[in-house]
């Protein structure tokens, strides 16, 4: 079994970005600048956003973090996004999801200018992705493509079973992996909570991508021997042995599944690290497009 660790992949992407940003700076070209918006005090969201900001700093991307209390109104938030759209110094905008119930995610993601939509959530970005036009691919699917590439895994003609049809992961991945390009040409089955015979479908998969947010849901009897397993889940489970009282586990029961798989991505240390590397790449690309 080969462990698909995100660390060396993310490190190599970050080194490339650091060199490219420093080269731009020597040529007096603009330094990329990401604006990150965080609303409320969701612990996981705070951790993710802080990690994004820290990673920007490591490669030389400027970041500005805008933090708002839970009681910010929808129109105030939309106004802030519009100001960032107009601000020439800002290249990429991300609004950490989920948002409080009184704010429409749809309005938020459609307000972010497609040119600065480094999360790739705007319907214009999604539409371009579906049609294979140049665009920002959202960070988790993009990170998974980069992880597969690094480990020289081609999905051509393979049966890929994706578990979970979220807008952020399952749905875009199902499209990306079935397209006719170097990352694609797979035969994709997108499964969800209403799928009948999930176990049988999973057992026919050459590649399993688990993105449902259910801790350790995929067990060894759901995969065939030699399958490639990509675990997108990041779940907190109670663990009294940990200082903070919880442990992070994926959607895959790593202990049993790893003995049967050919490749498996760990949690933590797998797809999560790739997501951030992909966001940094998108932010850099936004900058070179807006300020060649």
Q: Respond yes or no on whether the N-terminal peptide bond of residue 145 is cis (omega within 30° of 0).
A: no
* Binding-site ranges for ligand GUN (CB under 6 A): 94-97, 119, 139-140, 168
When CB distances to ligand GUN are compared, the closest residue is 97
- Per the annotation, the verdict on 96 as an active-site residue is yes
Task: Identify whether the C-beta of residue 116 lies closer than 8 Å to the C-beta of residue 84.
Answer: yes
Q: DSSP letter for 203, please.
A: H
**Quick one: 20 or 97, whose CB is closer to ligand GUN?**
97
Please enumerate in sequence order all residues whose Cβ is within 8 A of that of 219, keeping only pairs 6 or more positions apart, or say none. 253, 256, 257
How near is the Cβ of 49 to ligand GUN at its closest, in Å?
8
Query: Rounded to whole angstroms, how far apart are CA atoms 128 and 55?
Result: 27
Query: Rounded to the nearest 10 degrees, how much is the dihedral formed by the CA atoms of 147, 152, 155, 161?
Result: -40
- The catalytically annotated residue of 52, 116, 260, 281 is 52
CA 181, CA 145: separation in Å to the nearest integer? Answer: 12
Nearer to ligand GUN, 59 or 139 (CB): 139
Nearer to ligand GUN, 168 or 222 (CB): 168
Please say if 101 is a catalytic residue: no
Among 91, 96, 216, 251, the active-site one is 96
Least distance CB 16 / ligand GUN (angstroms): 21
Q: Looking at 117, 119, 231, 251, which residue is catalytic?
A: 119
CB of 245 to ligand GUN, least distance (A): 22
- Contact call for residues 94 and 52 (beta carbons, < 8 A): yes
Q: Is 216 a catalytic residue?
A: no
Nearer to ligand GUN, 3 or 115 (CB): 115
User: Catalytic amino acids?
Assistant: 52, 96, 119
């Amino acid at each position: 079994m080969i462990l698909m660790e995100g660390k060396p992949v993310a490190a190599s992407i970050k080194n490339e970005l650091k060199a490219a940003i420093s080269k731009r700076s020597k040529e007096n070209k603009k330094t990329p600048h990401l604006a990150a918006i965080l609303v409320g005090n969701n612990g996981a969201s705070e951790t993710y956003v802080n990690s994004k900001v820290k990673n920007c700093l490591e490669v030389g991307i400027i970041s500005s973090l805008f933090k708002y209390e839970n009681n910010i109104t929808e129109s105030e938030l939309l106004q802030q996004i519009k100001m960032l759209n107009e601000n020439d110094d800002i290249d990429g905008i991300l609004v950490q999801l989920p948002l409080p119930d009184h704010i429409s995610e749809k309005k938020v993601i459609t307000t972010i200018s497609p040119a600065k939509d480094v999360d790739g959530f705007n319907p214009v970005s999604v539409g371009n992705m579906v049609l294979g036009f140049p665009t920002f691919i959202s960070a988790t699917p993009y990170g998974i493509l980069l992880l597969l590439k690094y480990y020289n895994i081609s999905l051509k003609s393979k049966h890929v079973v994706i578990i979970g049809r979220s807008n952020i992961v399952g749905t875009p991945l199902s499209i990306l992996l079935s397209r006719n390009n170097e990352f694609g040409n797979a035969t994709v089955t997108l499964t969800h909570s209403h799928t009948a015979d999930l176990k049988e479908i999973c057992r026919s998969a050459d590649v399993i991508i688990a993105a449902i947010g259910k801790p350790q849901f995929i067990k060894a009897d759901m995969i065939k021997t030699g399958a490639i397993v990509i675990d997108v889940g990041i779940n907190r489970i109670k663990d009294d042995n940990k200082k903070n009282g919880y442990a992070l586990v994926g959607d895959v029961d790593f202990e049993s599944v790893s003995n049967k798989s050919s490749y498996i991505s760990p949690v933590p240390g797998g797809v999560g690290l790739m997501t951030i590397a992909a966001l940094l790449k998108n932010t850099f690309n936004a900058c070179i497009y807006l300020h060649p």
